[in-house]
Amino acid sequence: MRRIGRNGIVQFQRRKLHEFAHLGSRDKIYEYSLTNNDVFWSTLAESRLNWNQVFDYVNTSSFEDGRIEWFKGGKLNVADNCVSRHLDTRGDQPALIWEKDEENQTEVLTFAELDTLVSKFSNVLKNHGVKKGDRVAIYYPVSPIGVAAMLACAKIGAIHSVVFAGFSAEALRQRINDADCQVVICADGTFRGGRYIPLKSVVDQAVEGCPGIKHVLVGTRNPQIDKMTTPLDVDLNVELENASGVCESEIMDAEDPLFLLYTSGSTGKPKGLIHTQAGYLLYANVTTSEVFETKPGDVFGCVADIGWITGHTYVVYGPLSNGATSLLFESLPTYPNAGRYWSTVQKHRLTQFYGAPTAYRTLLRHGENVPLEYDTSSLKTIGTVGEPINTESWNWLHDFVGKGKAKVVDTWWQTETGGNMITPMPTEQDPSQFKPGSAQRPFYGIEPVLMSAEGALVEGNDVNGALCIKRPWPGISRTIYGDHQRFLDTYINAYNGMYFTGDGAHRDDDGDYTITGRMDDVINISGHRLGTAEIEDCLTGLDSIAEAAVVGIPDEIKGETSFAFVITTIDDLDEDEIRLQLNQHVATQIAKFAVPKETIVVPGLPKTRSGKIMRRILRKIAVNDLGELGDISTLAEPEVVQQIIEKRNQSS
């Protein structure tokens, strides 16, 4: 362990990994990051973050012991690192651009204005009994108030638990009670696609079953709505107006919890993952700057909701800590038309754009030429996140959105990892040579390995295995709130002494990594291991298919086989003809054994509000196991499940 032993404030510096420019190429920097891991991360921590007291030790972690600790002895404040430290040099620069649901409605907050808002919010929280270490539930749509709520918690040392403002009352209640929150911050509602969506009524229902809640701080999105409906309610707007704009920051230990974020809970009880102060912030900062080539003054456009980890890292903490302006996108990619993303790029001169393959595929259905109607020349990087992107969508982003100039970056990471883990950037490689659908290379300091089902290391190239990470990194989650043993059993004990991602991966002849999907989404057909994502990519390669979801089901002869659910681009196509086309295409592009045993044309797919397809539900429908589908209330369109079941019954 490397001892640092120096106190004081380390001043903020930001140039493209200038700390190791003397090493030359990306590959040499990467090799250095592994062979000199402590020096690598300590150098970045000292140069990228402002410390009130610099750490004594870099990394005292041990996967084998179930202990993860970074920058022990260090003290800092995350909110100060994201806002206050920029005031002298860029106080008048926009920190947040709020692109509201209606195209002609935009609000801008400078860093100075955001600093005042965060201080006011901090004082409101303190006035209502919130103190260091308390958990605060935030059920707020993407907006400056939602971001300020997160930063205010960070400023006073409270632990925020943001719940996506779209989850059901039961899902919200479960998360509030599990974290033992005493305060909820919410809005009366939000606007999406021209519709007002009430949120306060959901909070009211949830809080009825939360005996620990003392206050509900209610913000205003629609002034015409009566938002004060229970004795617990406090008018947040009035409180903010009357609060002082000056608040002293709580100095936090590097390993104090920063936030708690729950996984979707698709299987079992939702897991409340804890991320801590310094390690998470550093990893968010460095991945934002290096993967997306983000510089101070850039306008970073991540269209994720703050209720997800992507919103935490690449809407709030990553861009702001880098001195960039962050876009807050309230609307839908198709409202009022399929050019909304690209008109937003044009209007605000976005330099980075980060979205999900689901949205990209949806937009592509509306015509590949739509982006050509807008000036997207400001874009340096276009990111994709959430699932592997299909080749057609990747090529469309490169050719029609980026106009062949912006880099298209496929990123693989998880809520648990805190930030991007495998991604083609940074690189000296010609971006046109990036591999569509492949995240490709590990980020600095990340050492992936593939493991066999028997727990042996899979050597060489052109191989498949369970994707594990060999050593800890600063951004990794530390534990599951209240259940460290579950954390160990889920992530560490499966492959002794390594982090198990739960994903399968292929390492190709170049040593690059392609995610093949969750381990239960890898099908073993007559001894052939095949990722469902590969079949899905093949299916959506046909012009007649807009989206596809493939699951594995038991087969008496083959062991397993594939079952496909597809959405067509043309409503009146003959379904038997579609199946014939698909089967021929899969047999030609992959192999005959990969042809789905059955294909059903469906009107939609069961997705979470973040765009993740719930293949668990599809798998049960495919085998007619309808006894327990689990909680579907958190899906974006719960009604689509019954529609799929009806289509399945018709095909039986």
Selected residue with higher pLDDT from 621 and 609: 621
Mean pLDDT computed over 124-153:
98
The Cα 182–Cα 214 span in angstroms is 5
Supply the pLDDT for residue 594. 84
Has this prediction a pTM greater than 0.75? yes
What sign does the CA torsion over 235, 238, 244, 246 have?
positive
**21-25, 114-118, 404-408: which range is least confident on average?**
21-25
270 neighbors 178 (Cβ within 8 angstroms): yes
**Top-level class of domain 520-651:** alpha beta
Mean pLDDT computed over 168-188:
94
Range among 5-19, 442-456, 510-524, 560-574 with highest mean pLDDT value: 442-456
| Tokens coding 204 | 């009211």
Q: Is 22 exposed, middle or buried (0-12, 13-18, 19+ CB in 10 A)?
A: exposed
The Cα 637–Cα 15 span in angstroms is 44
The Cα 177–Cα 478 span in angstroms is 21
Residue-wise pLDDT tens digits, 274-296: 999 999 999 999 999 999 999 99
- Name, in order, each residue with C-beta under 8 angstroms of 546's C-beta and a sequence gap of 6 or more: 361, 362, 365, 540, 567, 568, 569
- In this predicted structure, the answer to whether residue 7 has a pLDDT above a threshold of 70 is no
Please, which pLDDT band fits residue 268 given cuts at 50, 70 and 90?
A: low
- In this predicted structure, the answer to whether residue 10 has a pLDDT above a threshold of 50 is no
344 neighbors 315 (Cβ within 8 angstroms): no
Selected residue with higher pLDDT from 312 and 517: 312
| Tokens coding 107 | 């609000």
Range among 161-170, 477-486, 529-538 with highest mean pLDDT value: 477-486
Selected residue with higher pLDDT from 455 and 116: 116
**34-48, 95-109, 583-597: which range is least confident on average?**
583-597
* Alpha-carbon torsion, ordered 74, 77, 78, 79, to 10 deg: -170
- In this predicted structure, the answer to whether residue 14 has a pLDDT above a threshold of 50 is no
Cα 452 to Cα 465, 519, 552, 619: the distances in Å are: 5, 12, 20, 24
Residue-wise pLDDT tens digits, 222-240: 999 999 999 999 999 999 9
CA 204 to chain centre: 28
Residues β-bridged to residue 530: 523
Tally of residues, the chain: 652
Supply the pLDDT for residue 389. 87
Please, which pLDDT band fits residue 608 given cuts at 50, 70 and 90?
A: confident
Residue-wise pLDDT tens digits, 380-393: 999 999 888 888 99
The Cα 78–Cα 152 span in angstroms is 10
Supply the pLDDT for residue 72. 97
Supply the pLDDT for residue 70. 98
SS3 of 424-440: the string is CCCCCCCHHHCCCCCCE
User: E strands, 431-536, where?
Assistant: 448-451, 463-469, 479-480, 499-507, 513-518, 522-525, 528-531
What average pLDDT is seen over the chain?
91
Mean pLDDT computed over 82-105:
97
Mean pLDDT computed over 613-631:
86
- In this predicted structure, the answer to whether residue 199 has a pLDDT above a threshold of 60 is yes
Please, which pLDDT band fits residue 533 given cuts at 50, 70 and 90?
A: confident
Please, which pLDDT band fits residue 267 given cuts at 50, 70 and 90?
A: very low
Supply the pLDDT for residue 226. 92
The Cα 203–Cα 128 span in angstroms is 18
CATH 3.30.300.30 maps onto the chain at 520-651
Supply the pLDDT for residue 528. 65
